[in-house]
Amino acid sequence: MITNLSERIREARKHLGLSASEAANLAGLTRKSWERYELDKNEPKASSLAVLVDKGIDASWLLTGRGSMLRSEVLDQARVIDPDLIRMILEEIESYRSQNNRTWSISEAARVIVLSYEMLQAERDRGIEPSPRNLNLLLQAANL
């Protein structure tokens, strides 16, 4: 298991067949900025990681190193939407927004909800009870 976020970023980029320059362009960065993520010299922004997620990399794997790298492999396991997870996510988002005086567009909120749901469901699949604390960490990382 790859334990370092920078290594997972590099592994995901290579799996997608992207050069560092191509990944940087997709994220609106310079090649050097992207390479600093992969060398663990800079902490990546959520918007930069979203480039990999949008191309099919599983958000939970990217953030934690657990589970499958590919979202399609995770999604292949047909699921019914869990209303308790959705409730937990919405409560945590509202709490985070009010405490941090954040306003998000509908598309930003939708992205956070989807990433949050994927992460909490992946925790549950591993036998871990989904935690609002982990969700709060994702919201902080998103820093939308």
Q: Which fold has domain 5-75?
A: 434 Repressor (Amino-terminal Domain) (1.10.260)
Kindly write down the DSSP assignment for every residue of 30-84, as one continuous string. Answer: -HHHHHHHHTTSSPPPHHHHHHHHHTTB-HHHHHHS-S-SBHHHHHTS-----HH
Tokens 């480039």 sit on residue: 51
Domain ranges, ordered by start, for the chain: 5-75, 83-142
pTM of the entire predicted model: 0.54
pLDDT in tens, 97-133: 888 887 777 777 778 888 888 888 888 888 888 877 7
Tens of pLDDT, residue by residue over 6-24, are: 999 999 999 999 999 999 9
